[in-house]
Amino acid sequence: MNIEDKLFTVGYKPDEHKSHLKIIDPAICLDKCGEKGRPCTFFCPARVYTWEENHITVAYNNCLECLTCRTGCPYKNIDCQYPRGSFGITYKFG
């Protein structure tokens, strides 16, 4: 089962106004991280990060709030916070 289908099983309250995940300096992804294989595009359990042509897109409303990206980005180039109170995931089972 692919991630997109699995993400449908998770209860979310999306924050339409504010992303809790931000790429700090897109130039680092473009110029430096190519040789590292842009790890955020594969290590993220929810595949929040995808490389599109010349930049990383951040599908923050798919985030499972594990914070892997905080430690996983080789350049510490992701500002990774928790969603604001009341937003984000709510597990039924956990």
Residues of the shown chain interacting with other proteins in the complex, contacts defined by CB under 8 A: 1-3, 5-7, 9-10, 37, 39, 42-47, 64-68, 70-72, 82-86, 88-94
Q: What values do phi and psi take at 41, rounded to 5?
A: -75, -15
Nearer to other proteins, 65 or 79 (CB): 65
Q: Could you give the 3-state DSSP secondary structure of residue 22?
A: strand
Kindly tell me which of 12 and 30 has the beta carbon lying closer to other proteins: 12
For residue 3, the minimal CB distance to other proteins (Å) is 5
Rounded Cα distance between 69 and 45, Å, is 10
CB of residue 56 vs other proteins: minimum separation in angstroms? 16
- Tell which residue, 19, 35, 86, 25, has the closest CA to residue 55: 25
Q: What angle do CA 87, 92, 94 make, to 5 degrees?
A: 95
Quote the least distance from Cβ 47 to other proteins, whole Å.
7
